[in-house]
Amino acid sequence: MTETPLTTSWLWKDGEELNGLKINQDKQKLEWFDGVGCACGDSTAEQTVAEFRQRGASFGNPPQDVLAELETALAALEL
């Protein structure tokens, strides 16, 4: 049986914007992306896992399925 790979990055639509999130395992941080795909440059924010657990997402409004998958990934990575 093939094991399903762990998801560590997500994209979702928030209004007219496309936002994203990636777990940076090397830095042990969450990287949030605003307006993915626009030519306006990198609009990103880094957040520690502890900050995320205390305050929630740095920006945007990630859907519940993304947040659930994020929690699963963080637990599997022991972050």
- pTM for the model stands at 0.84
Q: What is the pLDDT of residue 38?
A: 62
Burial degree of 33 (CB within 10 A; 0-12, 13-18, 19+): buried
Question: Which pLDDT belongs to residue 43?
Answer: 61
For the segment 8-30, what is each residue's pLDDT rounded down to a tens digit? 999 999 888 888 999 999 999 99
Q: Is residue 69 part of a domain?
A: yes
3 part of a folded domain: no
Structural domain for 62, as ranges: 9-76
Q: Degrees (nearest 5) of the Cα angle 46, 68, 52?
A: 30
Return d(Cα 50, Cα 5) in angstroms, integer.
Answer: 24
Q: For the chain, what is the domain count?
A: 1
pLDDT per residue as tens digits for the range 22-70: 999 999 999 998 877 665 556 688 999 999 999 999 877 899 999 999 9
Q: Is residue 2 part of a domain?
A: no
